[in-house]
């Protein structure tokens, strides 16, 4: 056993004080059910529940010994012949569920192998924890802070289907511009025009009260919300911004955020999606990700004399992101639909350049404040389809590789890349044009992810295999509805 590796060996010790507080909270709030949550490899929460009295009556045994489950039924996990796995409850994540009617305590879990008694290498949360430990081991910094901006749509109706002789989707929204002529008895006319949803006041913004209810529910669950608003697209595109947190905790919070958005929308007989590009011809949904490195409570990205108040450390971090950007997108823009958003010539951050204030660049340096604590970089290509544990970890490792190898990001680009001449645009690199290209890039450029044993080769291979067979190939072999428009009369 490597005694320097905190992720090897016996199961983790449980914080007795935290467990006692949770037990008291269960009694005080008359909690009836405990719900255990964990994340699969693609990034969707899984869960199961049991009566709260079992946790209370067990004393500390459930916390020490964990609870078994079948890992063969979870995407990206074990084969059926090695399916037994353990969930270890993390007491720091316990909250009273803010959306369920039955009083329920929600606890996020880590996944362990019951035979080796070690964390499971495919557990995304374990990967995030290793990334944070690797950061400390480098001596470069002790903390990374993350502030993702999650965008999403709230629709009134969605239908989709795929069969041997049909393929379709149909989306509707009461505020969609396409409904401006619909006989709604009465149609009141306040439908945000395409690309004009950012951000007129109500009644144009029909989502104000719903977003406010979502925000209050988030706050009830412990999420520190900074603001909310309508986004650019018509048809109910929204954004709710959270205050930054450390890597693993922010990834936890992203899944809680999605859970609350979807459930509050459903309670209003509406549906929320974090799909990157659900509407044709209007803006897609991204997840611009703010990030910075800190050591001894000092922001390492700040330099009063640097470009946009950025330090050399920050510029090298940017260099790492830009150099590894093609491979990064395999985790940060991880769906075939992601590349309907990341299209050159449209309003998408597809060029691997950086700039202050410039939202057309892949990396923007926000200039709202000259406070040293506010200095950060914003990586704009990611979207909300990513598993945040994997995406944040990959971005951190790319940035650290840039610092360790002093990668020069080049000169900043102050031009609007959306308005370059054809000659200028032809000289600029762009992001991967498809998920298939991003996966190929990851296959050829992933050594930076193996540092500190954060990602392992088997995790990367599983990701490549899953994405290629379950997503890329599945989309590739199906006729597209628009192909009938183009080719039926050939």
pLDDT at 326: 95
- Cα 374 from Cα 372, distance rounded (Å): 5
Instruction: Give the closest residue to 454 by CA, choosing from 138, 70, 108.
Output: 138
Span(s) in the chain for CATH 3.10.20.70: 16-120
Written as six digits, the tokens of 477 are: 């072999």
- Cα 309 from Cα 320, distance rounded (Å): 19
- Cα 340 from Cα 333, distance rounded (Å): 11
pLDDT at 18: 83
**From 110, 149, 175, 401, the catalytic residue:** 149
Residue 347 bears catalytic tag: no
Written as six digits, the tokens of 209 are: 């009260």
The three-class DSSP label of residue 221 is coil
**From 40, 110, 132, 378, the catalytic residue:** 378
**From 40, 132, 175, 231, the catalytic residue:** 231
Decide if 149 contacts 287 (C-beta within 8 A): yes
**From 110, 123, 132, 151, the catalytic residue:** 151
- Cα 391 from Cα 158, distance rounded (Å): 28
**From 90, 239, 383, 401, the catalytic residue:** 239
Instruction: Give the closest residue to 49 by CA, choosing from 107, 127, 98.
Output: 107
pLDDT digits (tens), the chain, 490 positions:
233 333 333 455 567 788 889 999 999 999 999 999 999 999 999 999 999 999 998 877 899 899 999 888 899 887 655 678 999 999 999 999 999 999 999 999 999 998 888 999 999 999 999 999 999 999 999 999 999 999 999 999 999 999 999 999 999 999 999 999 999 999 999 999 999 999 999 999 999 999 999 999 999 999 999 999 999 999 999 999 999 999 999 999 999 999 999 999 999 999 999 999 999 999 999 999 999 999 999 999 999 999 999 999 999 999 999 999 999 999 999 999 999 999 876 677 888 899 997 778 899 999 889 999 999 999 999 999 999 999 999 999 999 999 999 999 999 987 776 676 667 666 677 888 999 999 999 999 999 999 999 999 999 999 999 999 999 999 999 999 999 999 999 9
Task: CATH number for 16-120: choose from 3.40.50.2300, 3.90.1150.10, 3.10.20.70, 3.30.565.10.
Answer: 3.10.20.70
- Cα 340 from Cα 276, distance rounded (Å): 8
**From 125, 211, 288, 446, the catalytic residue:** 288
Written as six digits, the tokens of 347 are: 């309003």
- Cα 450 from Cα 456, distance rounded (Å): 6
Decide if 301 contacts 349 (C-beta within 8 A): no
Angstrom distances, CA of residue 315 to CA of 257, 270, 307, 395, 412: 31, 43, 9, 14, 10
Residue 149 bears catalytic tag: yes
pTM: 0.94
Count of residues in the chain: 490
Half-sphere exposure of 94 (CA within 13 A, CB side): 23
Residue 231 bears catalytic tag: yes
**From 380, 383, 401, 471, the catalytic residue:** 380
Residue 378 bears catalytic tag: yes
Span(s) in the chain for CATH 3.30.590.10: 143-487
**From 8, 20, 53, 70, the catalytic residue:** 70
Helix 435-444 with 457-467: angle, nearest 10 deg: 160
**From 347, 359, 437, 443, the catalytic residue:** 359
- Cα 316 from Cα 401, distance rounded (Å): 9
> What's the fold here for domain 143-487?
Creatine Kinase; Chain A, domain 2 (3.30.590)
Residue 474 bears catalytic tag: no
Angstrom distances, CA of residue 343 to CA of 195, 196, 275, 346, 349: 16, 20, 16, 6, 9
302 phi/psi in degrees, rounded to 5: -100, 135
- Cα 297 from Cα 139, distance rounded (Å): 14
Residue 359 bears catalytic tag: yes
pLDDT at 456: 97
Written as six digits, the tokens of 458 are: 């088997």
Question: Quick count: other Cβ atoms within 10 Å of Cβ 70?
Answer: 12
The three-class DSSP label of residue 482 is helix
């Amino acid at each position: 056993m490597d005694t320097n590796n905190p992720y090897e060996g016996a199961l983790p010790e449980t914080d007795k004080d935290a467990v006692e507080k949770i037990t008291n909270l269960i009694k005080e709030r008359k909690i009836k059910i405990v719900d255990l949550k964990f994340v699969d490899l693609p990034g969707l929460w899984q869960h199961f529940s049991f009566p709260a009295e079992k946790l209370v009556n067990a004393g500390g045994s459930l916390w020490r010994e964990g609870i078994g489950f079948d890992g063969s039924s979870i995407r990206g996990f074990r084969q059926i012949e090695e399916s037994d796995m353990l969930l270890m409850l993390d007491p720091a994540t316990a909250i009273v569920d803010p959306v369920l009617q039955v009083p329920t305590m929600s606890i996020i879990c880590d996944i362990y192998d019951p035979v080796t008694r070690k964390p499971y290498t495919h557990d995304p949360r374990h990967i995030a924890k290793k990334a944070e430990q690797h950061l400390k081991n480098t001596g470069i910094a002790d903390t990374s802070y993350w502030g993702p901006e999650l965008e999403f749509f709230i629709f009134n109706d969605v239908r989709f289907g795929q069969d041997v002789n049909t393929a379709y989707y149909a989306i509707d929204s009461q505020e969609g511009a396409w409904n401006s002529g619909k006989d709604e008895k009465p149609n009141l006319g306040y439908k945000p025009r395409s690309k004009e949803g950012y951000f007129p006041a109500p009644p144009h913004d029909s989502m104000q009260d719903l977003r406010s209810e979502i925000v209050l529910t988030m706050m009830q669950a412990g999420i520190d919300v900074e603001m909310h608003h309508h986004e650019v697209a018509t048809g109910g595109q929204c954004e709710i911004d959270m205050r930054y947190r450390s890597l693993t905790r922010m990834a936890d919070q992203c899944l809680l955020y999605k859970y609350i958005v979807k459930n509050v929308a459903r309670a209003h007989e509406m549906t929320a999606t974090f799909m990157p590009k659900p509407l044709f011809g209007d803006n897609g949904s991204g997840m611009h990700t703010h990030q910075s490195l800190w050591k001894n409570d000092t922001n390492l990205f700040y330099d009063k004399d640097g470009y946009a108040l950025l330090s050399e450390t920050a510029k090298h971090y940017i260099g790492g992101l830009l150099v590894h950007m093609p491979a990064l997108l395999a985790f940060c823009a991880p769906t075939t639909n992601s590349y309907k958003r990341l299209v050159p010539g449209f309003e998408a951050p597809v060029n691997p350049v950086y700039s202050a204030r410039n939202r057309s660049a892949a990396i923007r340096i926000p200039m709202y404040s000259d406070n040293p604590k506010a200095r950060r970089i914003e990586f704009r290509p990611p979207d909300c389809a990513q598993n945040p544990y994997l995406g944040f970890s990959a971005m951190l490792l790319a940035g650290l590789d840039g610092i360790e190898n002093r990668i020069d990001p080049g000169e900043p680009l102050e031009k609007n890349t959306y308005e370059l001449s054809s000659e200028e645009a032809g000289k600029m690199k762009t992001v991967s044009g498809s998920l298939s290209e991003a996966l190929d890039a990851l296959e050829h450029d992933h050594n930076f992810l193996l540092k500190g044993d954060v990602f392992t080769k088997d995790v990367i291979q599983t990701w490549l295999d899953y994405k290629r067979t379950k997503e890329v190939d599945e989309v590739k072999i199906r006729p597209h509805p628009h192909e009938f428009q183009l080719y039926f009369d050939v």
